[in-house]
Structure 1
């Protein structure tokens, strides 16, 4: 068994407690590495029972498959096709001692639903469920001895009314991991940038109210806000639901769409985001000393924007690693990167790949979530002690302070 940081070990001990409730919630901040404790518990459960992991997105399932095969070495069945489901249904794949991975969509329809509904489980894990469980998923829950929901303090929108097994905060992670103090690198947005951002957020909030979906921005950068505005205005009809989008499917009011187009014009004619110019200086300083620089961006849109800006400003070519890249392809790609090459990576991948962070400088791209906690870091105490962490932090400029 791998040695775990204190907060992860406490979660594992709680899961091992035979007196714990049948259904329970483990809440944590992004990047706490809490899945390491869950993986260890899975290894123990699979000695004599079947484990099912359900998640809303295919990328999360791929990450689970990669991690379980690499770190826990348990047999994994990914329900990604009808043929695999039929094999499981016909018992040609022996389920005992396996971990079965499936999206909620697969678990609720077709052969996969039939196969899963025929099995009994020692443990079911729900990884960041995005809505209330359907009747079909609830039926699966009652085929398990224990059920755990992993929720995120910043992003989970659905409240699951189960007993709380653990609540991991940023303070827990910092205290138990021995993380050095995060160094804030200040940047100042111009009055024009702040005003434009405020107008866009106001419009998106209005849309969220009309759609019945509260707006929770993953990022408030110009490129991400620009993407959301285009989603909202697409075809003047239903905005396209893209991976990671903060918008839903509700039809856009014509007046709202017209305002959005006006904001699109303004944002496209605006100069580069002030924060990216500060980031350029940080990356140049860190990489010139031979360090590997990892810029952690909350969205793929931000990652590609940052990489494009740094490439265009004369820095070495940046690698962009997002959840669009299968986990099995990430390890060899990382191995081929030069130590001094900047790496742009979205938060979900950074939280699942730890070995290449040691000795690096990590720069946290600002977002509404990272202003509440630093939780974009992986959860390993040995890695924490070997990285330098810089966080871009918005501060008020002289004009604003003079008021």
Structure 2
């Protein structure tokens, strides 16, 4: 019998993790100022069982639905937007296992995650790689497989026990996912991500030099769960929604605490100034709209997950197209509204709030960085083509050098 993760008591789920989120939020600005990697917060999350949120209750997890997962990731992103993105590959690999038939091997992965192990990402290659090519190669051998190559944007790998690596087989040129244990000399991790935002996601370079891969840890890419692109996008959407919530929180707290006023203001205190209150209301409403959009779109993703056991190819295409399209629509909205909210918050504050010590600029920088993933202009084009011509949204794509 196939066990589906269809939902749990969200109030209980969130109540378990919110004390951890509060601890994480306390140090977020300081970590940003000093570029301190969130090793300790990730340890707290592992100890609380955060990596098991989607694993069915019968298998030792929480059994959360996808809307519940992304609601929880939004709350985590409000505390520190780096952390949901750092865990993006982990939850994607859990999702892929959830879409596979029940087996002892699948139970083995679930047990690893219950023990606190995490998965990081190793998909993107930069430099001279041509579009459609894969330089990272995995080679079968008598004592297991070996992996050689280099990846950038290796989000979460600095904190992970395993890396989900997109590679090409040397024997038959097939594309695969290889799960590589990070605790071996053949894997080297470098913290060289130099983006202006999301600087603590562990998204640097990973190199593989004859890294060992167990044969049973090599999976045919064609068998990956069908809504994976929409799923990966949803983690970024939840991150954006959390950033918007953080901007609204900091705008309100800043106004409450502000003592200085201007001679031409509308009240004896900033918290009584109707124009300032309007700004806080607008930022809060932007955050509300983004979060509502993200949760709405997550329901179509849940439908795609539950449909994977149906065997009805026509229905599967329909629900997966819808999940992809709604993720794209949510991305168009979030990419516009969250950077706007992160800018508007400064209209409720003063020049003193631009000081580096307050780190309020991180909200815009982080939002703009997240919004730059998976170009939104192509998502908007896809949605228009879907609506006008009935063309399925792009579900699988690559990046590389053109002609």
TM value normalised by structure 1: 0.26
Richer in helix (by share): 2
Structure 1 or 2: more strand by fraction:
1
TM-score for both structures, normalised by structure 2 = 0.26
